[in-house]
A and B are shown apart, each in its own frame.
Chain A
Amino acid sequence: MKIVALMKKEFHRFFHDPRLIVTILLPGLLIFLLYFFMGSMIHSESGREMRVYLSGDSAIVDFLGQQIEGRGDKVEWIPLENEEEARAEIKEGKATAILTFTKDFDLFGEDARVGLVYDSGSETGSYFYSLATSVLISVGMRFPIDVQTVQEGGNVGMEILTSILPFLVVTFVFSACMSVTLESVAGEKERGTLATILATSVKRSHIAIGKIVPLSCIAAIGAASSFFGVIFSLPKLMGIGFDVLFAGSYGFLSYFMFFLLILSVVPLIVSAIAAVSALAHTMKEASGYTGVIMIVVMVLSFVSLAADGLGSWAVAVPVLNAVISMGNILSGELVLWQALVSVGANLLYAALLVWLIARMLSSERVMFGK
């Protein structure tokens, strides 16, 4: 089995080289440490005293209260009488937020809405905001919260850090894919060890698959490390507990789809980098081309943040489709068919690239041209 031997070789190369293992796992650890300490710095103190104006009522308020007090802070709920005055108090820092529920609030009701006004410039305000939104999502809210800040510049801070998560994930996936693929494809071509394999009778398509499959697995390990780095530091960063972050509402399906989406992006990026690596003469040239791919991927994953409500045609756009679906999952709005089609589309593109790489491996001009 030639293809098995090819794959084994890639795994052997990786798992017997501590340096490579570290390169792959380090980003996740660094992200974790960075976010963890950032979070610790932001949310270092407990013992906050919060004053929150409340309009309408829901059992959620009690749950939210427990969450706050469980973390060593205090909250005082004040019935909302005059919104103008309350806003002014928030601005002056005398009150933390205004939380409004529609009349006869039913979480799954048609016209249920939640409003939140806070000061994104205040630490306590931001803390309350991230805790309240997390709690609402965790109890199964399926609609956006109407959030306003009394600050002029709109919402900054925590919210960005959470909505940017899909983008971060793609970035980490990319860096994991890049280090292994450049080394294995461009490196082997430059060093002349790929030519030695090409001089044997093994099928060129097998060489391509024998590279992409193991490299994707290895990159997926790196991506997972980054992903868990984010997940484990997120609660600390947002100042909330794991129980809130992981509370039932996302459900197994959402987590599973989130991971599947990440996994679908990995072979796509690996084969894209492998394709330019096969074209390039040197590692240096290949990393230059990879820089271009990185920009494309970054742009694609940023578009979804900038432009809300893209049409469903976006499922056909690689990377973008996954980022949109990941964003949907995070805001509790998983559209299963979209996520599945995105995964399928990404894998299809990856397969096309593998075919292209096999063509390049057969091309004398690409492999042996000067």
Chain B
Amino acid sequence: MDDLFGEEIVRAEALKKTFTLSRKQQKIEKTTLTRKVAVDGLSFSAYRGEIYGLLGPNGAGKTTTLRILSTLIGADEGDAWIMGHSVRKEPAEVRDRIGFLTSELKLEGFFTPDYLFDFFGAMHGVEKSVLAARKQELFSRFGIGSFAQVKVGDLSTGMKQKVSLVISIVHDPDVVIFDEPTNGLDVLTAKVVTDFLAELKAMGKSILLSTHIFSLAEKLCDRVGIIIDGKMIEDGALAALCGGKPLEEKFFEIYRGVKGEIL
């Protein structure tokens, strides 16, 4: 049974994104095609206070979808709305309402967490007094205080990740979009991230994440969508979608249904 739907926070409608492949990319992808459809008519909705997980194998189009939703790149067709604002027509409105975290977005190693927090606060137009209070709260909550004045470049991967997390929500966004939150992190750092996500959910944020780690999805997500080859194959509340089976088993079932067999 699906849960009762809450307020719709994210709505994607028939998103399509095609990349033109360069010679070099053709070689890497082992193809002679000059165009690659990364996202192919994708639609889904995510609801307030929930964690929505986009699940799919490598190259399924998860990152591309999240980049479209966070207005970093534009869709060729279709549109998406974040809290009612179109990513196509009101990108600035969308940017102020989301926190986007992906390995593509880096913090300059020269600056301290303290400086960068203030800087990105200013970029989002957060008022100074609000910003100072928020900094104090978030830094103590996530244990950043002790290295707030150390250059980001000198921090450990785990510390850096914490700083990125905190800075992504400097403007208190209602929606947090998170691409592969635990990718490349050791168990301890990964735990920092998953705890953070749980914490955000407790704060009432809506979260959209992508992953190919089923255990993570099972632990965190309220709702998942399974993407294969840029298409949304199935989505719904986690329990309803799995129907009592482990998520991984359900995924293989779906994958077999689409692709015939597993490689």
Same complex: yes
In the complex, what distance in Å separates the CA atom of A368 from the CA atom of B70? 13
Task: Please tell me which one of the listed residues B22, B70, B71, B110 contacts residue A13 in the complex, with CB atoms under 8 A apart.
Answer: B110
Q: Per-position contact with B for A192-209: 1 when CB-CB < 8 Å, else 0?
A: 110111111111000000
What string of 1s and 0s marks CB contacts (under 8 Å) between A1-31 and chain B? 1101110010011001100000000000000
How far apart are the CA atoms of A193 and B106 in the complex, in Å? 5
Q: Are B123 and A195 in contact (CB under 8 A)?
A: no
Known: A199-B70, A200-B95, A368-B72. A192 touches B123 (CB 8 A): no
Enumerate chain A residues within 8 angstroms of B105, measured Cβ to Cβ: 192, 195-196, 199
In the complex, the chain A residue whose C-beta lies closest to that of B110 is A13
Cα distance A141–B184 in the bound complex, in angstroms:
74
Asked whether, in the complex, the Cβ of B96 is within 8 Å of the Cβ of A192, the reply is: no
Chain A residues within an 8 Å CB radius of B19: 370
Q: With A and B bound together, what is the CA distance between A1 and B127 in angstroms?
A: 10
Residues of B within 8 A of A197 (CB): 123
Q: Are B124 and A195 in contact (CB-based, < 8 A)?
A: no
Quick check: B92 and A195 within 8 Å, CB to CB? Answer: no
- CB within 8 Å for A5 and B122 given contacts A12-B115, A199-B70, A201-B96: yes
Sorting the interface of chain B by its residue count into under 10, 10 to 19, 20 to 34 or 35 or more gives 20 to 34
Q: Which residue of A lies closest to B96 (CB)?
A: A201
- Is A85 engaged at the interface, CB distance under 8 Å to the other chain? no
Query: Which of A6, A199, A201, A368 has the most C-beta atoms of chain B within 10 angstroms of its own C-beta?
Result: A199
Q: Would you call A193 and B107 a contact (CB within 8 A)?
A: yes
Chain B residues near A200: list those with CB within 8 A: 95-96, 120, 123-124
Q: For the complex, what is the distance from the CA of A255 to the CA of B73, rounded to whole Å?
A: 50
Q: Bound state CA distance, A203 and B107, in angstroms?
A: 19
Nearest Cβ on chain A to B12's Cβ, whole angstroms: 18
Flag if A370 contacts B25 (CB, 8 Å): yes
Closest beta carbon of chain B to A109's beta carbon, Å: 63
Decide: B108 and A188 in contact? CB cutoff 8 A. yes
Cα–Cα distance between A86 and B19 once the two chains are bound (Å): 81
Given known A201-B96, A370-B25, contact A195–B104 (CB-CB < 8 A): yes
Task: List residues of chain B with CB within 8 A of the CB of A191.
Answer: 106, 108
Q: Are A364 and B73 in contact (CB under 8 A)?
A: yes
For the complex, give the distance between the alpha carbons of A9 and B108 in Å.
Answer: 11
Q: In the complex, what residue of chain B is closest to A198 when comparing beta carbons?
A: B72
A364 to B71, CA, bound (A): 10
Contact A368–B73 (Cβ < 8 Å)? yes
Q: Report whether A202 and B123 are in contact in the complex, using a CB–CB cutoff of 8 Å.
A: yes
* Contact (Cβ within 8 A) B25 A199: no
Chain B residues lying within 8 Å of A195, measured Cβ to Cβ, are 72, 104-106
Q: Which residue of A lies closest to B105 (CB)?
A: A196
**Residues in B whose Cβ lies below 8 Å from that of A368:** 67, 72-73
Produce 1/0 per residue, B11-23, CB < 8 A to A.
Answer: 0000000010010
- Residue numbers in B under 8 Å from A16 (CB-CB): 110
Residues of the A chain whose Cβ atoms lie less than 8 Å from the Cβ of B67: 368
The reply to whether B70 and A2 contact each other, CB–CB distance below 8 Å, is no
CB distance B106 to A5 under 8 Å? no
A196 lies within 8 A of B72 (CB): no
Contact in complex: A370, B124 (CB < 8 Å): no
B100-115 contacts to A (CB < 8 Å): 100, 104-108, 110-111, 115
Question: What residues on B are CB-neighbors of A13 within 8 Å?
Answer: 108, 110-111
Which residues of A170-198 are within 8 A (CB) of B? 188, 191-193, 195-198
Contacts of A196 in B (CB 8 A): 105-107, 120
Nearest chain A CB to B168's CB is how many angstroms away? Answer: 9
CB distance from B241 to the nearest CB of A (A): 31
Residues of B contacting A4 in the complex (Cβ-Cβ under 8 angstroms): 122
**Shortest distance from the beta carbon of A215 to any chain B beta carbon, whole Å:** 15
Q: State whether B108 touches A5 (Cβ < 8 A).
A: no
User: Which residues in window 1-43 of B have CB below 8 A to A?
Assistant: 19, 22, 25
Asked if B119 is at the interface (CB within 8 A of a chain A CB), the reply is yes
B49 proximal to A (CB < 8 A): no
User: Is B125 positioned at the interface, with any CB of A under 8 Å from its CB?
Assistant: yes
Interface check B74, CB cutoff 8 A: yes
Contacts of A188 in B (CB 8 A): 108
What CA separation (Å) do A5 and B106 show in the bound complex?
18
Question: Measured between C-beta atoms, what is the minimum distance from A249 to chain B in Å?
Answer: 47
Contact B115 A192 (CB under 8 A): no
Q: How close is A42's CB to chain B, nearest CB, in angstroms?
A: 44
CB < 8 Å: which of B22, B71, B110, B122 contacts A2? Answer: B122
The one of B95, B111, B119 in contact with A201, judged by C-beta atoms closer than 8 angstroms, is B95
Tell me which residues from 53 to 73 in chain B have a Cβ below 8 Å from any Cβ of chain A: 67, 70-73
A contact residues around B93 at 8 Å (CB): 201
| Complex CA–CA separation, A364 to B73 (angstroms) | 6
Nearest to B98 among chain A residues (CB) is A199
Contacts A2-B123, A370-B22: A199 and B72 contacting too (C-beta < 8 A)? yes
Asked if A5 meets B119 with Cβ closer than 8 Å, knowing A193-B106, A201-B96, the reply is: yes
A202 to B92, CA, bound (A): 8
**Between-chain CB contacts (< 8 Å), 13 pairs:** A12-B111, A16-B110, A17-B110, A191-B108, A192-B105, A196-B107, A196-B120, A197-B123, A199-B95, A201-B91, A203-B92, A368-B73, A370-B22
Which 5 A-B pairs rank lowest in CB-CB distance, beginning with the nearest? A5-B122, A192-B106, A200-B123, A201-B95, A196-B105
Residues of B in contact with A (beta carbons under 8 Å apart): 19, 22, 25, 67, 70-74, 91-93, 95-96, 100, 104-108, 110-111, 115, 118-120, 122-125
